C-alpha cells in the first residue's frame, strides 16, 4: 500500500470518528448555542472608534507610496 492510500484511509477513519463522537447533533446544538450567546454578548459592547486607525492608515499609505516612488526612481520632489 502506498503512502497516499494510507493517508486517505487514516483521514477517513479520523473524520468518521469526529463525525460520530464529536460533531453529533446534540454537540452541534450546544456549539451553536454557545456561539449565539457569544455574539449576543459582543453586540452589547460599545463600538470601537476606528477614526485614529483610519488616520494612521492614511499616513502609512502615503509613506508607502512615497517609498515605492523612490524605489522606482520617480522624481522625489513630488513626494514632499
**pLDDT tens string 19-45:** 888 888 888 899 999 999 999 999 999
CA atoms within 13 A on the CB side of 71: 6
Alpha helices in 22-50 (DSSP H): 25-44
pLDDT more than 90, % of the chain = 68
Q: How confident is the model at residue 77 (pLDDT cuts 50, 70, 90)?
A: low
Position 40 scores a pLDDT of 97
Q: How confident is the model at residue 68 (pLDDT cuts 50, 70, 90)?
A: very high
Q: What is the pTM of this model?
A: 0.44
Position 2 scores a pLDDT of 77
- Listed by start position, the domains of the chain span 1-45, 46-80
Amino acid at each position: 500500500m502506498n503512502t497516499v492510500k494510507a493517508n486517505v484511509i487514516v483521514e477517513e477513519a479520523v473524520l468518521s470518528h469526529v463525525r460520530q463522537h464529536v460533531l453529533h447533533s446534540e454537540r452541534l446544538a450546544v456549539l451553536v448555542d454557545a456561539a449565539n450567546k457569544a455574539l449576543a454578548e459582543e453586540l452589547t459592547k460599545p463600538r470601537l472608534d476606528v477614526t485614529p486607525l483610519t488616520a494612521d492608515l492614511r499616513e502609512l499609505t502615503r509613506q508607502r507610496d512615497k517609498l515605492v516612488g523612490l524605489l522606482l526612481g520617480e522624481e522625489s520632489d513630488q513626494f514632499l
